[in-house]
């Protein structure tokens, strides 16, 4: 992990009492006491310094698709990551792309597919920004960003310098990374470097993708064919942002698929008493279970609603905030799902979105 000092300064524009609900896909939550839109790296550092001089906390906001903001708002400063830019160079049969953290993720994926660069096609349609992808080790339909990330540039907010993490440094795991496991706010992702394969074959590793391609008669699908197939599957589950979709106000999957040991699996099997329970063996000997299946097994069907919140009508993993919903309603419903699944199925589901605290 290499580091370089940051020394340039810029004038900081700090806004006050900025509503955050319109900036998040759930559409709930209060205002930021202070707010900065960071369009360059120096502004990110300036905003962090500004907060620390005033003994305030800071939060980082990207696309707002993986966060639940409290109704009381945020007492400190919210730094909106708006860094933009994409550069590419081809060498040794590969293309390396340096992408700023504020680039919209699906726009970037669309670009790579259009250029014939393989490696991200199955990650189409995922909301959010590029900077969030290494933190979550974003994955879907048989691909994860950890397969193509070469390096991550980030601001070390404690040492006040820019550092570069190699792929190994990132500590990638299932929907996890060293950034996510570490101290919140310790690092701010500034840009991500990807390595893709020019004119490479698309990844077809997921049963749903294979089935859809077969139904369309695609025996030799292109990257574009796979992208369109993934988008079709996601739209059918309301997992693509669409202003006309009744399920649009969500964070997508609210819970992670649990990965359990063989001993823990025995406990779950004894609780659910269903040999048809979906499961997938993992390389480390553990077993991945379907959180959606467990939720439905616990009695919560798609479209289940309690007051102003409920499950998506198309996917049991998505919690939807309806008109009048508050963040507290979303969190309470999520906690009830967790408790009921744990009681009935013997496993506690972990939440995927970040639940912000006021301070």
Q: What is the mean pLDDT of residues 5-24?
A: 80
pLDDT of residue 14: 97
| Each residue's pLDDT tens digit, 104-148 | 999 999 999 999 999 999 999 999 999 999 999 999 999 999 999
Cβ atoms of residues 187 and 154 within 8 Å: yes
> Among residues 110, 153, 175, 234, which one is catalytic?
175
- What average pLDDT score do residues 33-62 get? 96
Q: How confident is the model at residue 359 (pLDDT cuts 50, 70, 90)?
A: confident
Position 216 scores a pLDDT of 84
Does residue 4 register a pLDDT over 80?
no
Q: Is 296 a catalytic residue?
A: no
pTM: 0.91
- Both structure tokens of 55: 């003994």
Q: What is the pLDDT of residues 83-96, one digit of tens each?
A: 999 999 998 899 99
Question: Under a CB-based contact definition with an 8 Å cutoff, are residues 39 and 73 in contact?
Answer: no
Token digits for 333? 């419903």
Q: Which one from 227, 253, 297, 312 is the annotated catalytic residue? A: 253
pLDDT cut 90: percent of the chain above it = 90
Query: How many CA atoms are closer than 13 Å to the CA of 73, on its beta-carbon side?
Result: 16
pLDDT in tens, 332-353: 999 999 999 999 999 999 999 9
Q: What is the pLDDT of residues 247-256, one digit of tens each?
A: 999 999 999 9
Q: For residues 289 and 37, give the distance between their C-alpha atoms in angstroms, rounded to a whole number.
A: 39
In sequence order, what are the beta bridge partners of 196?
A: 95
Q: What confidence tier does 6 reach under pLDDT thresholds 50, 70, 90?
A: very low
Given a cut of 90, whether residue 29 has pLDDT beyond it is: yes
The pLDDT of residue 9 is 45
| Cα distances (angstroms) measured from residue 178 to each of 34, 102, 143, 162, 351 | 28, 20, 19, 16, 18
pLDDT for residue 8 is more than 60: no
Q: In whole angstroms, give the CA distance from residue 306 to residue 303.
A: 10
In this prediction, residue 11 has a pLDDT band, given cuts at 50, 70 and 90, of confident
Q: If you average pLDDT over residues 13-20, what whole number do you get?
A: 97
Mark whether 175 is an active-site residue: yes
Rounded Cα–Cα distance for residues 221 and 62 (Å) = 33
Say whether pLDDT at 1 is over 70: no
Domains of the chain in start order, with CATH, are 12-81 (3.30.43.10), 86-236 (3.30.465.10), 250-355 (3.90.78.10)
Any catalytic annotation for residue 253?
Answer: yes
């Amino acid at each position: 992990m290499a580091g370089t000092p940051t020394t340039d300064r810029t004038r900081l524009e700090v806004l006050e009492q900025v509503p955050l609900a319109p900036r998040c896909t759930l559409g709930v939550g209060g205002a930021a006491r202070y707010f900065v839109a960071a369009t360059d790296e120096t502004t990110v550092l300036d905003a962090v310094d500004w907060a620390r001089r005033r003994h305030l906390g800071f939060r980082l906001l990207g696309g707002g698709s993986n966060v639940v903001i409290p109704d009381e708002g945020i007492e400190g400063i919210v730094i909106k990551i708006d860094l933009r830019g994409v550069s590419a160079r081809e060498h040794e049969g590969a293309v390396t792309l340096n992408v700023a953290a504020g680039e919209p993720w699906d726009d970037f994926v669309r670009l790579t597919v259009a250029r014939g660069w393989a490696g991200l096609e199955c990650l189409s349609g995922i909301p959010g920004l590029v900077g969030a992808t290494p933190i979550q080790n974003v994955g879907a339909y048989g691909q994860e960003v950890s397969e193509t990330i070469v390096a991550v540039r980030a601001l070390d907010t404690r040492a006040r310098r820019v550092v570069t993490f190699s792929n190994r440094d990132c500590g990638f795991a299932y929907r996890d990374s060293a950034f996510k496991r570490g101290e919140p706010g310790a690092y701010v992702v500034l840009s991500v470097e990807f390595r893709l394969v020019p004119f490479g074959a698309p990844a077809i590793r997921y049963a749903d993708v294979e089935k859809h391609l077969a139904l369309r008669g695609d025996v030799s699908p292109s990257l574009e064919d796979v992208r369109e197939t993934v988008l079709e599957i996601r739209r059918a589950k309301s997992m693509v942002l669409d202003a006309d979709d009744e399920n649009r106000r969500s964070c997508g999957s609210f819970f992670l698929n649990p990965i359990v040991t063989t001993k823990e699996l025995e406990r779950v099997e004894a609780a659910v008493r269903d040999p048809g329970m979906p499961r997938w063996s993992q390389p480390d000997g553990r077993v991945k279970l379907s959180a959606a299946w467990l939720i439905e097994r616990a009695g919560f069907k798609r479209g289940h609603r309690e007051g102003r919140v409920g499950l998506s009508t198309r996917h049991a993993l998505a919690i939807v905030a309806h008109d009048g919903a508050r963040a507290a309603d979303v969190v309470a419903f999520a906690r009830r799902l967790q408790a009921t699944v744990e009681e009935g199925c013997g496993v506690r589901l972990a939440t995927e979105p970040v639940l912000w605290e006021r301070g």
